[in-house]
Every structure is written in C-alpha cells, then in structure tokens.
C-alpha cells in the first residue's frame, strides 16, 4: 500500500462543480463528498423519462450525508441479514459520492463504482462500498445511485428503455465534466461493478454513446446479457395487470410510488438470478443498445478498453444455501433443470465426478454458476485475443464460515474495498477474515485503475487466472478446464 496522503488543510473541503459549489468533510485524511446530484429528481413529468441535468444552485451545498436512495424494498428474509440495504428517503435519488485524497491534487486515477442488486436493490449508501481505502491509496472513488426496478428498467411503449443505464451514463458524463476539480483525471476513468452493476457495465461497453467516458472496466460476477424489448416487457405487464392499469408509462406514472413498489415486490418475489423468475433486464432497445451486448463485445466492440473480470468459485451458494436448495433439491428436479438449460449429459457427469458427495442442489448450483458467469466471461476473454485493450481474469475462492456460504456471490466486495472491519462486510465474511487477502485484492484493483495492469499475465492461449484464496493468491492456468470444455462453443475444440 502507498503511504497516506498529507492532511488536507481545514475540515470542510470545498469544490466547485458545473452546477454549484459543494462542501464535503475531512475524514481521516480523506476528503469525502456525499449526495451530489448528477441529474434532476426523476419525479413528476421526469418520471419514466431519460435523466435531465440538475438545476444549478447558489451558495454552498452541503455534501456530508448520503443522498436519497432509489425507490426499492429490502431483500426478503433471510437475505436481508446478509445484504443490508439502507434506505434514505427523498426524491433526488440520482446522486453520487466522491472520496478523494485531496481536491488540490491533480491527475489521479478514478474508479466509478456501480452497485449490484438484480436491478431491484442496492445503493451507494451501503457501508461496504466506503471509498476511503481507494482514496488512501491514491485513487478517486465515485459511487453512483441509479433508478431500479420498474422505474429504471420497466419496458414501455411510451418511454425510453434502459433508464437506469441512461442514469449511469449521465453519472459518467458528470465525472468527465467535474472530476478534475476533485483531483481526478477524466482520461483515466475505470468503471467497476458487481453482479447487476457488472451486467450494466457490459452493456455500457457495447453502447456507442459511452465512447470516451472511461478507459478501463471491471466486471465482478456479471456477464453481458440483454433481452429483446418484447421479452423484457413481461414483468412490466404483470405489474400493470396486478394494479389494474395499462402497461404504459403514462398509466403507471399516476400510481402512487408505494403501491407500485408493493406490486413490483409481489411480482418479482421468489426468483433468484440463477433459478430465474420474474425480473427486470437490460433490453436491446435499438437506441442506446443497437445490438446484443454479448455479441457486440465478442465481435469487437470496446476492443480498446482494458478489461478485468471474474467470478467467485461458489456464486450460487448465496441463493441456494439460505433457501435450502443445496440440501432439499431432488434428483428429479435436477434432471428437469438440466433438460431446461440444455446441459449435455457428458458435462453433467464431469461436474458430478469432480464433486464426489455433492448434493443435487450443489451440482445444479455449480453448473448454473458456470453457465451464466464463468463460461460467457471466458468466451469474451477468448474473443478479445489480440485486442488493443488487455484482458485479465480472476477467481475469488476464499470460503466464508458464515452459514456454509462458501465462496459465494458478493463475498469478494469487502476485500476489493478493503472494508473487512465494516458490519456489512462481517455479515458475509464473519469475524477475522484474512486481511492479507484484502490487501492483495485491493492492491490489484488500485493497480488496474492506475495502470491497466492488476499484476498478473493478461489473457492468452494459456488462460491465466489469478485465484484469490483459499491460501495465498496465485496464477492458475485454465482452472477446471475439463468442466469448461463441456460447454458450447468449447466442445468442438476437443482434440
């Protein structure tokens, strides 16, 4: 780690943005600005519309507390105890936060964090995402709120699609206009996200409008994915039907936010990112996203962008263990799932042979993790061979003792942010998580933001993957390649 920056004079740092002056706070040698609006409140005539710039303000705006969070409901039990989700009331939910070593610095690398939560949950106010460690190590950290659920990703005939993505773009445009005033370099921006945040970033990589807004990207436990507008409209129609109104932006804008959230929760409850269910998805709208992101990226979009991406070894356990699926899923249900997902019999047998004693639920989880995450990320890495931008892959394998969750989804975030001492992190990691692993992983993200090189070989035919735990981090070439080769398009590559 680098030495802490020199103290900032005074206790209330001031910065002039294009919309007005903000006053932050000095916290342990780091200047922090919270709740800065990057777009106008998406209410009234702006509801279900593309984001618009905020109005300028006179005087000094206090920026010491987190701004309002996007309308949402907490995770259902038992995930609510594992994934705390604070609520900050108010309409101005399109806001962001900045942690910087000092606004007086210049040319610092910038990392923009886009949170996950299945496009239904989450905010930049989650304690886990505190950016102090990045600022301590010379990186300006920006974390962003964006519209969620039907407000951000409902599909209507009379409103733009992908409004949550448009919000993220507006935040990145704010960064380009303003980050130099906070000590950052607008030409050295890395956009980073986990789960739905990573899926969003994959879409931004494929969106022509994002060109020039960032130089590097990090995808944590999320792969490129999108639906056609017709396929993506189903959840919107179910919510409208439950409310007894037309599935249009005009009709749903007249519904009280609390009633709309209640209907949304009823329609989307019960599913998971791995088992499916009614959900919100990014759509190929022909405007922001002219093409499917996975296809666009494999065919050469964003080839100039440095890319760091990876997965956790047991992603599935966050959903399967608390729900009891690991123990109670039957062999018959497993067979039905294999048929539904068109898993080749030889592939299933390889996974079973590599996991003696695994329950049907554990086998399904391992297969689903790879089908939805590891395989598409490997395919993308392979397709980027020879690109101007380098590609790096990692795997997070440290297993938490909490509730037998293992190396589950979202576990790596506290290590990346170096926030192992925070209650939000401890909820997943338990006490005494290995600080040396956080030191290594956090340092890799800092190096990538600063130089585009996290510290291990870039992707080539040997398929190097940096494995973070268990034990000391180490590069492994083509891990579990026998399983990877069981999926298309790798099956035809067998010798």
Active site annotation includes 76: no
Catalytic residue among 19, 115, 409, 442: 409
Q: To which residue do tokens 């590599």 refer?
A: 354
Q: Give the C-alpha separation, 96 to 231, whole Å.
A: 32
Residue 233: CB partners within 8 Å, gap ≥ 6? 155, 247
Q: To which residue do tokens 């088992």 refer?
A: 275
What per-residue string of b and e applies to 118-128 under the rule 16 or more CB within 10 Å gives b?
A: bbbbbbbbbeb
Structure tokens at 201: 């970033």
Report how far Cα 251 is from the mean position of its chain's Cα atoms.
31
Structure tokens at 77: 């039990």
Active site annotation includes 477: no
Q: Which of 369, 164, 410, 143 is nearest to 282 (CA)?
A: 164
Pairing of strands 140-144, 184-194: unpaired
Report how far Cα 489 is from the mean position of its chain's Cα atoms.
26
Residue 171: CB partners within 8 Å, gap ≥ 6? 38, 39, 94, 96, 112, 142, 144, 146
Catalytic residue among 151, 173, 315, 395: 315
Q: Exposed (0-12), middle (13-18) or buried (19+): which is 494, by Cβ within 10 Å?
A: exposed
Structure tokens at 359: 């329950």
Q: Which of 139, 176, 183, 147 is nearest to 24 (CA)?
A: 183
Structure tokens at 380: 């993308």
Spatial contact of 128 and 425, defined as CB atoms under 8 Å apart: yes
Pairing of strands 474-477, 464-468: antiparallel
Active site annotation includes 395: no
Q: Which of 175, 157, 171 is nearest to 250 (CA)?
A: 157
Structure tokens at 242: 């439950």
Q: Which of 420, 449, 423 is nearest to 111 (CA)?
A: 449
Long-range residue pairs from 208-212, CB within 8 A, at least 24 positions apart, any chain: 208/290, 209/169, 209/288, 210/169, 210/172, 212/176
* Residue 391 phi, psi dihedral angles, 5° rounding: -125, 135
Catalytic residue among 102, 195, 279, 387: 195
Report how far Cα 450 is from the mean position of its chain's Cα atoms.
20
Q: Give the C-alpha separation, 382 to 92, whole Å.
A: 42
Q: Which residues are catalytic?
A: 195, 315, 409
């Amino acid at each position: 780690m680098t030495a802490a920056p020199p103290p900032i004079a005074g206790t209330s740092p001031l910065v002039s943005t294009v919309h007005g002056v903000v006053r932050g706070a000095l916290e342990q040698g780091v200047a922090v600005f919270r709740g800065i609006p990057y777009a106008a409140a998406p209410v009234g005539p702006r509801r279900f519309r593309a984001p618009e710039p905020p109005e300028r303000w006179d005087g000094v705006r206090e920026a010491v507390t987190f701004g309002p969070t996007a309308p949402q409901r907490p995770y259902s039990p038992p995930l609510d105890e594992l994934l705390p989700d604070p609520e900050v009331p108010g309409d101005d939910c399109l806001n962001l936060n900045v942690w910087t070593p000092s606004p007086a610095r210049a040319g610092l690398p910038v990392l923009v964090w886009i949170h996950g939560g299945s496009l239904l949950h989450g905010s930049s106010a989650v304690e886990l995402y505190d950016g102090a460690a990045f600022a301590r190590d010379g990186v300006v950290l920006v974390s962003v709120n964006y519209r969620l659920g039907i407000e951000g990703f409902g599909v209507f005939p009379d409103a733009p699609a992908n409004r949550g993505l448009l919000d993220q773009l507006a935040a990145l445009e704010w960064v380009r206009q303003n980050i130099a005033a906070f000590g950052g370099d607008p030409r050295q921006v890395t956009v980073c996200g986990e789960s739905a945040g990573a899926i969003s970033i994959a879409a931004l990589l494929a969106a022509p409008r994002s060109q020039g807004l960032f130089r590097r990207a990090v995808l944590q436990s999320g792969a490129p994915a999108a639906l056609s507008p017709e396929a993506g409209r189903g959840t919107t129609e179910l919510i409208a039907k439950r409310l007894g109104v037309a599935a249009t932006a005009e009709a749903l804008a007249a519904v009280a936010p609390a009633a709309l959230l209640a209907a949304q929760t009823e329609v989307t409850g019960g599913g998971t990112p791995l088992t499916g269910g009614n959900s919100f998805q990014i759509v190929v709208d022909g405007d922001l996203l002219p093409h499917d992101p996975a296809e666009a990226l494999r065919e050469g979009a964003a080839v100039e962008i440095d890319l760091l991406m990876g997965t956790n070894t047991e992603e599935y356990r966050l959903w399967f263990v608390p729900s009891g699926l690991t123990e109670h899923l039957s062999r018959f249900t497993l067979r039905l799932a294999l048929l539904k997902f068109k898993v080749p019999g030889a592939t299933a047998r390889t996974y079973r042979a590599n996991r003696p004693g695994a329950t049907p639920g554990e086998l399904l989880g391992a297969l689903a993790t790879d089908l939805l995450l590891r395989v598409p990320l490997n395919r993308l890495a392979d397709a980027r061979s020879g690109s101007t931008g380098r590609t790096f892959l990692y795997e997070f394998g440290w297993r938490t003792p909490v509730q037998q969750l293992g190396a589950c989804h979202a576990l790596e975030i506290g290590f990346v942010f170096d926030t192992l001492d925070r209650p939000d992190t401890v909820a997943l990691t338990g006490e005494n998580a290995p600080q040396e692993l956080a030191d290594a992983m956090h340092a890799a993200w800092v190096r990538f933001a600063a130089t585009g090189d996290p510290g291990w070989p870039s992707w080539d035919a040997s398929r190097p993957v940096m494995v973070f735990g268990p034990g000391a981090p180490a590069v492994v070439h083509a891990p579990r390649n026998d399983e990877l080769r069981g999926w298309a398009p790798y099956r035809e590559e067998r010798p």
